[in-house]
Chain A
Amino acid sequence: NAGVMQNPRHLVRRRGQEARLRCSPMKGHSHVYWYRQLPEEGLKFMVYLQKENIIDESGMPKERFSAEFPKEGPSILRIQQVVRGDSAAYFCASSPPGSGTDTQYFGPGTRLTVL
């Protein structure tokens, strides 16, 4: 059973470009969470999704950021018109149905660098 997969592992964008980060949850997991980690900081929650539904987006910036988890395919975190402050590591986690947020399995992260 493969773990949570994220790609790309490293992403470089210039200011104003779009960044798309992908997360494939563990097999059988229907809950996906996105977190952002700035250097020397802990992880900050961004958004919690189930298949085709956004459950909690209280940590998402109001502009430029969006997330989806379609019926088929990976979850996507999309950042439009990136700025230098978006440079961070973005982690995805997944959990199985019914587990609440007790047990989350984390992916290796995508490190976004905005030039």
Chain B
Amino acid sequence: SAVISQKPSRDICQRGTSLTIQCQVDSQVTMMFWYRQQPGQSLTLIATANQGSEATYESGFVIDKFPISRPNLTFSTLTVSNMSPEDSSIYLCSVAHSPPNYGYTFGSGTRLTVV
């Protein structure tokens, strides 16, 4: 299965600033996904990152707040823009594996604290 390198692993940011999170995969994958895990909560899908086209956002998430880039089949970034304390969460990227070994691998996450 794929190996994902996600960074930074954690950061403390001032409100009003932006943070860009990177995910590097060791193999080419069609789809990459970005999730948010708020404190004590489950994972919520932010968007699906498509190579060569705009990301597809889930209800409640917008491109202006969470712009995503997907320049090639092994790399993606998520930016959390104009941050507020409510954005304090763990952000994870994920990739889906093609059949027959169908499944998902997750990055180790970025723990973001906004002060």
Question: A and B bound?
Answer: no
Residues of chain A touching chain B, judged by Cβ–Cβ distance below 8 Å, are none
Residues of chain B touching chain A, judged by Cβ–Cβ distance below 8 Å, are none
